Amino acid sequence: MQIARINRLTPYFFLAPAIIVMAVALLYPIGYMVWASFLDWNPSQRIGEADFVGLRNYAKLLNDAAFLESFWVTVKFAAVVVVLEMILGVGLAMLLDRQLRGMTLLRTIFILPMMIAPIVVGLMWRYMYHPSVGLFNRTLKSFGLEPVPWLSDGTWAFASIVIADIWQWTPFIFILSLAALQSLPRSAMEAARIDGASGWQLIWFIKLPLMLPVLIVTALLRLIDAFKVLEVILVMTNGGPGLSTEILALRISRTASEFRELGTAAAMSNLLLILLMALTLAMFTYTKISEARAARLRAAASKDH
Amino acid sequence: MPRIVLEQVRKSYGAVEVLHPIDLKLNDGEFTVLVGPSGCGKSTTLRILAGLETLSGGEIYFDDKPISALDPKERDIAMVFQDYALYPHMNIAKNMSFALRLAKVPKAEITEKVQRVSKLLNINHLLDRKPAELSGGQRQRVAMGRAMVRDASTFLFDEPLSNLDAKLRAKLRTELAEMRDTIDKNMIYVTHDQVEAMTLGDRIVVMSDGRIQQQGTPEELFKSPINRFVAGFIGSPTMNFMAGTLTEANGQLWVQGDGCRLPLSAEQASRLKTFKGADVDIGLRPSSITDDVSRGAPIELRVVVSEYLGAQTVLVTRCGGTELQVEMSSAGRFAAGQTRTFGVVTDELMIFDRDSGLRL
C-alpha cells in the first residue's frame, strides 16, 4: 500500500534535517581529516595539490619521540586529574549531603569554577602562579618561604596544570555524585544504621557501591574531557617548559600551525579520536550491560512469586 | 528484654508539633501495635524509638536506662521497613548477614544463623539472589529474616505489609501472628490497618493528631472505646454515628435520633441520668443491629444498598437523614428501597458527648 509506506517513512522525513546538519557539520570534517592524514600537506597548498603518502604519517608518529612524549603527558594528566577529582568530588559530596543552613548557597559557589570560560581560568591561574607578583609566591614570601617555580620548572608546571584542572572540574564530579547520593534509597541507609554500620562503613558498604554506576559513567565522561583539554594549558604554559605540559591537543595545534604539517596533525587527531571513541564505547557498553542486567533481574522477579 | 518506657516524648519540626508529649509503657515481651490514620505520629514514634529521629523533648528508657542519646546501633533493636529497605547490591544471604558481618561474628556462626532463619521463613532457596529478583512478598520475608538473624531484643515494624496485595498481606499477617507466639521478643508494630492491629496486637495504642487516644487489648478497645475517634477507628465495618439527644419519658431514659427513638438499658440510664437533655452522638455498631426484632428495640430502616459479601451481607440503610450500616449473616432477603423494622441491641449502644467526643 502506498499510504502505509509513506506512513512508515514519515519518521525518517522528520529526522532528515538533523541528519543533513550532522553530515555537513560532523561527518564532512571528520572525513576531511581522515583523508588529510594520508597526505603530505602544507598549508600553502590546496588539498588537491598535496601528495598522497599512505600511512607514512602514522608510521612517522610512532617513531616520533616528541609525539610519544606528548601522548604520555596526556595519559598521565588525564589519569592523575580524574583520580584526584573523583576522590575530592565524591568526598565533598559525602560531606555536603546534609541539611544545613546555607547549604544551597554553598553548593552553588562550589560549582562556579565549572561555569567560567576556560581561557579565563587559564589567565587567572597564570596570574596567580606568576613568579614574582602571583598570589602564591607572594603568600609564600610573606611567610618567609622560598618562592616556587610554578610554571618554569617541568615537574612544578605539570603539578600546576593538574591543580588548575582539579579546581575547575572537581565541581562536575561533585554535583553528579551529590545527585547520585541524594537519590539513594533513604530507608536502606537507615536499615544499615540500625544494623550497626558506622559512618565510614555506611559509605564503604552501602553508599559507594550503590553510587558506583553513576561514578563509573562520571569518571569516563571526565576522562574523555581530560584527553581533549587545551585552552587552560595553552594559556598557562603553552606546553612548556620543554614538553613537560604539552598535551596532545596542544601538540596537534602546534604541528599544524608552527610546523606546518597538516597531514601529520590530522593523523594525530585521528589517533586521539580513536582513543576517545574507545572510551565512549566503553561507557556505552557499560550502560548497556547494566540496563540488560536490570531487565534480567526484573524479569526474574516477575516470573516467580 | 528491656521494658520500654516513653516519658513525655515530644517531636516538632520547627513550629509544627507532630508529636504532643506522649507517655507509653511497653511491657517485656509484648506485641504492641501503634495504629492510627496517616499523619497521626505513629511512624514518628517508632522512628524515635529506633533512633532514626531525635526527640524534641522527654526521654525513652530501656529498663530504666535513658537511651535518647544513643545511636540506633547501640539500642539493640532490629527494624522492618515498609519498603523493605534491602541493600540492592547484596544478595539475600549478604543482606541477612550484614549486621553480623559488621559485628565480626565468626563465619560459621553467620552461615548457621542465616540458614536457620531462612529455612524458618521459607526463603532458603533465594539466598544467592539479588533483591530485585524477588517478588514483594519474598522481599518482605527477607526483611523480616534480616531482623530475626540479628537476635535483637526489640523488633520494630514500620507498616511492613502495606506494600503488598490483599491476599499476600493476609497470608503474611497470619505468619506474623505465628511468629509472635514463637519468638519471645518485644515487638512494636506500626500500621494504619485496624484489622492488622486487632489480629496481631497483645496491646493496641490508638493514635491520632500526635496524641495517644487510648491503649488496651483489642477487646477493650472494641468494647469500651473512650471516645468517638477510637470507636470509629476500631471495628469493621465501622461504627455508625447518629446525632441525637438524651430525653426522659415514661420514667425511662431514651436517645432521640433523627427518625428513631431508642430506650437505654437500666445500667446505661443510671450512668447517663445526669446528662439528660444533652446533645450526643449515638454510636451503633453494624453488628448491633439485627433483623431479629425480638432481640432489641425496634428501629425503622429503609434499605438503600445491599452489599452481598458471601457469608455476610452489609446493608446500607437510612434512618431519617442518617446513613446506617447493618451487618447481617444471611443474604438476599432485603431488596433495596424496602423499609422494614430491625432490632437494636441497646446494651451495645454507645453515647458520646457531641462536643468533646468523649464517651459518656
Q: Mind giving me the DSSP string for B160-194?
A: TTTTS-HHHHHHHHHHHHHHHHH--SEEEEEES-H
Nearest-Cα residue of chain B relative to residue A195: B99
Q: What is the mean pLDDT of chain A?
A: 86
The yes-or-no verdict on residue A2 having pLDDT over 90 is no
Cβ pair B301, B319 in contact under 8 A: yes
Hey, what's the cell of A204? 564503604
Q: What is the arithmetic mean of pLDDT over A26-34?
A: 88
pLDDT value of residue A64: 85
Q: What is the rounded distance in angstroms from the CA atom of residue B121 to the CA atom of residue A106?
A: 48
Q: What is the rounded distance in angstroms from the CA atom of residue A228 to the CA atom of residue B27?
A: 68
Closest C-alpha among B351, B333, B350 to residue B342: B333
Please give the backbone phi and psi of residue B304, each rounded to the nearest 5 degrees, phi first: -100, -50
DSSP codes joined into one string, A115-177: HS-HHHHHHHHHHHH-TTTSHHHHHHHHTTPPP--TTTSHHHHHHHHHHHHHHHHHHHHHHHH
Provide the 10 A C-beta neighbour count for residue A63. Answer: 8
Cβ pair B185, B150 in contact under 8 A: no
Q: What is the arithmetic mean of pLDDT over B117-126?
A: 88
Chain A contact present for B146, CB below 8 A: yes
Q: What is the rounded distance in angstroms from the CA atom of residue A111 to the CA atom of residue B209?
A: 43
* Nearest-CB residue to A191 (from B71, B85, B133): B85
Cβ pair A41, A47 in contact under 8 A: yes
How large a percentage of chain B has pLDDT more than 90? Answer: 29
Q: What is the rounded distance in angstroms from the CA atom of residue B352 to the CA atom of residue B227?
A: 7
Q: What is the arithmetic mean of pLDDT over A194-204?
A: 91
pLDDT band at A232 (very low <50, low <70, confident <90, very high): confident
Chain A contact present for B134, CB below 8 A: yes
Q: What is the mean pLDDT of chain B?
A: 88
Chain A contact present for B129, CB below 8 A: yes
pLDDT value of residue A303: 63
Q: Facing residues of B341 across strands?
A: B300
pLDDT value of residue A162: 92
Chain A contact present for B77, CB below 8 A: yes
Cβ pair B96, B123 in contact under 8 A: no
Domains of chain A (ranges plus CATH)? 65-298 (1.10.3720.10)
Cβ pair B225, B238 in contact under 8 A: no
Strands B31-35 and B203-208, bridge-based pairing? parallel
Across the interface, whether the CB atoms of B87 and A188 are under 8 A apart is answered yes
The yes-or-no verdict on residue A43 having pLDDT over 80 is no
How many angstroms away from the CA of A110 is the closest CA of chain B? 28
Residues of A in contact with B85 (CB under 8 A): 185, 187-188, 190-191
Across the interface, whether the CB atoms of B81 and A298 are under 8 A apart is answered no
Across the interface, whether the CB atoms of B85 and A209 are under 8 A apart is answered no
Please give the backbone phi and psi of residue B58, each rounded to the nearest 5 degrees, phi first: 85, -170
Residues of B in contact with A206 (CB under 8 A): 87
pLDDT value of residue B252: 82
How many angstroms away from the CA of B211 is the closest CA of chain A? 25
Hey, what's the cell of B197? 492491629
Q: What is the arithmetic mean of pLDDT over A168-183?
A: 91
Chain A contact present for B72, CB below 8 A: yes
CA–chain centroid gap for A86, Å, is 12
Convert the pLDDT of each residue in B64-106 to its tens digit: 889 888 888 888 899 999 999 999 999 999 999 999 999 999 9
How many angstroms away from the CA of B121 is the closest CA of chain A? 14
Q: What is the rounded distance in angstroms from the CA atom of residue B50 to the CA atom of residue B69?
A: 11
Across the interface, whether the CB atoms of B86 and A188 are under 8 A apart is answered yes
Q: Which of A5-14, A98-107, B149-158, B299-308 has the lowest mean pLDDT?
A: A98-107
Across the interface, whether the CB atoms of A194 and B77 are under 8 A apart is answered yes
Q: What is the rounded distance in angstroms from the CA atom of residue A23 to the CA atom of residue A218?
A: 28
How many angstroms away from the CA of B195 is the closest CA of chain A? 25
Convert the pLDDT of each residue in B142-197 to its tens digit: 998 999 898 888 999 999 888 888 888 888 888 888 888 888 888 999 999 988 89
- CA pseudo-torsion sign A59, A61, A65, A70: negative
How many angstroms away from the CA of B93 is the closest CA of chain A? 14
* Nearest-CB residue to A193 (from B72, B134, B146): B72
Q: What is the rounded distance in angstroms from the CA atom of residue B261 to the CA atom of residue B259?
A: 7
Across the interface, whether the CB atoms of A196 and B86 are under 8 A apart is answered no
Q: What is the arithmetic mean of pLDDT over A27-52?
A: 82
The yes-or-no verdict on residue B121 having pLDDT over 90 is no
Convert the pLDDT of each residue in A106-165 to its tens digit: 888 888 888 888 899 989 998 998 888 888 888 888 888 888 888 888 888 899 999 999
Cβ pair B227, B211 in contact under 8 A: no
Nearest-Cα residue of chain A relative to residue B155: A194
Hey, what's the cell of A288? 548497556
Q: What is the rounded distance in angstroms from the CA atom of residue A131 to the CA atom of residue A145?
A: 13
pLDDT band at B336 (very low <50, low <70, confident <90, very high): confident
Provide the 10 A C-beta neighbour count for residue B216. Answer: 19
The fold of the B240-353 domain, in CATH, is OB fold (Dihydrolipoamide Acetyltransferase, E2P) (2.40.50)
Out of 3.90.230.10, 3.40.50.20, 3.40.50.300, 3.40.190.10, the CATH code matching B4-229 is 3.40.50.300
How far is the CA of B251 from the CAs of B167, B246, B258, B263, B358, in angstroms? Answer: 53, 13, 22, 11, 26
Q: Where are the domains of chain B?
A: 4-229, 240-353
How many angstroms away from the CA of B102 is the closest CA of chain A? 7
Read off the DSSP letter of residue A210.
Answer: H
Convert the pLDDT of each residue in A76-97 to its tens digit: 999 999 999 999 999 999 988 8
Chain A contact present for B73, CB below 8 A: yes
Read off the DSSP letter of residue B232.
Answer: H
Q: Is the ipTM of this complex over 0.90?
A: no
pLDDT value of residue A107: 80
Residues 6+ apart with CB under 8 A from A4: none
pLDDT band at A296 (very low <50, low <70, confident <90, very high): confident
Nearest-Cα residue of chain B relative to residue A204: B102
